[in-house]
Amino acid sequence: MEFKEFRNRTAREPNTSPYPPMELTDKEKQLLRQLAKDLVAINVEEFEEFLFENNGVLPERDWEFVRRDEQVETYLRRREKYGLRGFGATKRFRRETSDTSASMSSTKSEELSSLDVADIRSIGFKDGTLEDGVYGAMSPTTDVFRTKSAYVDDKIEECNVLALIDNVSDADPFTSLTIRWRVTENPPVMRTFLKSYDHIYLEATGFTTLTNGDRISYQLLHSIDFPHLTPPLKTHSRGQVAGILFFRQIDKETVQIHGRAVFAIPFERARALFTHMVLVSMSKSCINIFFAAQMKKLRWALHERRKNSVADFVCTSCRVTHKIAEIGPDNKLYWTKVHVCPFCMTQVIKSDTSITMRSEIAAGRTTLRRKKKAKCSTRFLERGAFRPTGSDTT
């Protein structure tokens, strides 16, 4: 447990990286790809055990029912029944200064006990598609990370994408691999004296298949430690988290949700308080991810309508107010009210998520090219390479 020091606070701009630019070697990137693949495989096995051996039910002897939000039920593993099976231990990367090679090992948390962690599962159903689930969960950039967090209401104070290992593409619009930093908000009673917890973690999104051929989408989070790149900050306590969220299509309009998260408990006396906080956060996140997908699709639909028409882009009848999250030029998050009729909103929700994501990717490439062109033009002018006609003197 670490308490706040009210002196020597940093003047760093919120939601910017507290570390220098993260440059990973090819060896480190390959190790991270393999780590993500292995962790997904471990959890697919447990998901199949839940589906096919336990018939979609968590054994009552191992799991205690805690809460229900809409069609999602959340359970806490009984403390005497823990078995992490390799999932949950923070992975540490070591870089050898002599030959730029890298190695990976588990940290001291490798043998996490029931006193150290809370093991949580959220299971249930939600209207939508596999693509909606992973689209709502993923956030390729820091700005999207922030707006998604606002929709999901996951109590994240600050966040930043530290490294982009595998970016989304036209071929795989939902497949990504990144290193992230985030700060989780403390419970209100502890904010005045206890440091907030931050996490450095690997996030992977994509698709895989079950042994019966069913296609599922996922979002993986797993704490990772780069002692040479991301040392602990004096302003925060370093936390540990591991989680995965699976989406499986049951019928044309219904998705099965299966989420699992392992959180390190900071100290035993805070177990009940912290466990309740992460239980509520995980349960609501499983539902709000689909809301985030809808709002992201609505934002893009409005963007396209504004671009293609000079007329008013809102509906003219049966107006229903929605709030769209945006990051302003001053790096602050703002909510913009828009009015959309139920018919148009239904069209947005039912629209092809893959098309929306590919359109966003294309727009991102265009924006990046414009920025590079503007930057090159600025440098060109600064070097005095351009001189107006008639400027030369004889």
CA distances 358 to 60, 175, 208, 353, Å, are 43, 12, 20, 9
164 three-state secondary structure = strand
Crossing angle (nearest 10°) for helices 271-308 and 353-382: 80
- Taken in order 197, 198, 200, 204, the sign of the CA dihedral is positive
Q: Does pLDDT of 108 surpass 50?
A: no
Average pLDDT over residues 10-27: 82
Q: What percent of the chain has pLDDT over 70?
A: 74
Query: pLDDT digits over 274-295, tens only?
Result: 787 888 888 889 999 999 999 9
pTM: 0.82
Nearest to 169 by CA among 351, 385, 361, 302: 361
Q: Quote the CA–CA distance of 66 and 63 in Å, as a whole number.
A: 9
CATH number for 26-289: choose from 3.30.530.20, 3.30.1860.10, 3.40.50.920, 3.40.50.2000.
3.30.530.20
Q: Quote the CA–CA distance of 385 and 394 in Å, as a whole number.
A: 19
Q: Does pLDDT of 114 surpass 90?
A: no
- What integer pLDDT is reported at residue 371 of this predicted model? 58
Between the CA atoms of 125, 131, 133 and 134, what dihedral angle is there, to the nearest 10 degrees? 140
Given the structure tokens 């209100």, which residue do they identify?
Answer: 188
What are the structural domain ranges in the chain?
26-289
- pLDDT, averaged across the chain: 81
Q: Quote the CA–CA distance of 260 and 183 in Å, as a whole number.
A: 20
Q: Quote the CA–CA distance of 222 and 148 in Å, as a whole number.
A: 19
